[in-house]
Structure 1
Amino acid sequence: METLVLLLTVLLGLRLIGALGVARFAAWSTCGAYALALMLIVTGATHFVPASFADTPVPTHADLVAMVPPWVPFPALMVYLTGVLELAGAVGLVLGRTRRWAGLGLAVLFVLLIPANIYAALAEIPFHGAPATPLWVRIPEQMLYIAVALLARRSVAGSTDGKARTATESVTISSPR
């Protein structure tokens, strides 16, 4: 739930900044890309926090390994892999040239993580000492992340309206007279 609050707070804050005149954040899609990137940096980093940090407010690698369904091979490695993918996706969202592919890749990743969310909810796996998040919360939250990742794909570097520029709009060609 904290990740949802982080995403929405940053999204609305960036959009407010855009409404106040910062052109980079004039489009919801760009704000979504940056907000999702920040959320992924936070969540991706937790994939690498050792279990010895269990007494801190930060979730650990062990908390995430517990969520992996038993039929998934090498659960610890899968948690590291998804952490790397989240961090790479965050970088891809911030770099305008890779934003479309990053948004698509993250949407696919979020879909692939749904079974872990279902397993954790149905098996009532506690998360960092807190009770398991119910399925009716997990699935809509995951759908929102997918939607924001797909929305972020609409944002292109150099464009404040979220639309790609055509070659004729980006380059002015002068003809000799």
Structure 2
Amino acid sequence: MAPVITLTAVTLLARLAGLLGADALTDWQLCLRIGLAAMFTLTGAVHFHPKFRTDMARMIPERLPAPAALVALTGVLELAGAAGLLIPATATAAALCLAALLVAMYPANYSAAKRGIPLAGSPATPIGIRTAEQALFIALCVLAAL
């Protein structure tokens, strides 16, 4: 739930700043990229927090090798994508790459939901909610790229 809250709050705050006179923030797409950057900074950073890292490694389907390395790799990619969203020259590519990354990470989310794996003590998220969140994030990344 924290990623959805972060994305929504930061996007709306950026848009509000635009309405209050910040000329650069009158573009809804830029506000969305700022919100996505905040969300991916949050989600990327938790890949390196010990409390989350272990649970994230357990989320990865058992057929994939080196779960801890995959958690670190996806964390680095999320952080790089977040930075890329804020650079005009790379924003489109970053948004599309993040959408692809979300598609690639979906099997881990599916696996975690099916096996009931909690994240940092929170109850396991049901598959329907996980799928809806992933679809929303992918769609917003594509919108940010257009």
Using structure 2 for the length normalisation, give the TM-score. 0.95
Q: How does 1:73-92 map to 2 (within 5 A)?
A: 73-92=65-84
Identify the residue that residue 110 of structure 2 maps to in structure 1: 118
C-alpha distance in 1 between matches for 2:60 and 2:32: 28
2:40 partner letter? L
Question: 1:41 Cα deviation (Å)?
Answer: 1.1
5 Å-filtered alignment, 1:96-115, equals 96-115=88-107
**CA drift at 1:21:** 2.1
- Structure 2 unmatched runs, 5+: none
Equivalent position of 2:142 in the other structure? 150
Amino acid at match of 1:64: M
Question: CA shift at 1:13, angstroms?
Answer: 1.3
For structure 1, the 5+ residue unaligned runs are 55-59, 155-177
Q: Which structure would you say has the larger Rg?
A: 1
Cα deviations by residue, 1:55-100 (Å, 9 ceiling, x for unpaired)? xxxxx21121111111111111000000010010011001110001
In structure 2, the residue matched to 1:27 is 27
CA apart distance, 1:128: 0.7
| Superposition TM-score, scaled by structure 1 size | 0.79
Q: Distance in 2 between matches of 1:135 and 1:18?
A: 36
Report whether the alignment pairs 1:72 with 2:64. Answer: yes
Stretches of 4+ aligned residues off by more than 4 angstroms: none
Paired-residue identity, %: 45
State the distance in 1 between where 2:143 and 2:23 align. 18
> Which structure is higher in helix share?
2
Whole-Å Cα distance in 2 between the matches of residues 72 and 38 of structure 1?
A: 29
Taking only aligned residues, the RMSD between alpha carbons, in angstroms, comes to 1.0
Q: Distance in 1 between matches of 2:126 and 2:45?
A: 24
Letter in 1 for 2:100: V
SS in 1 for 2:122: coil
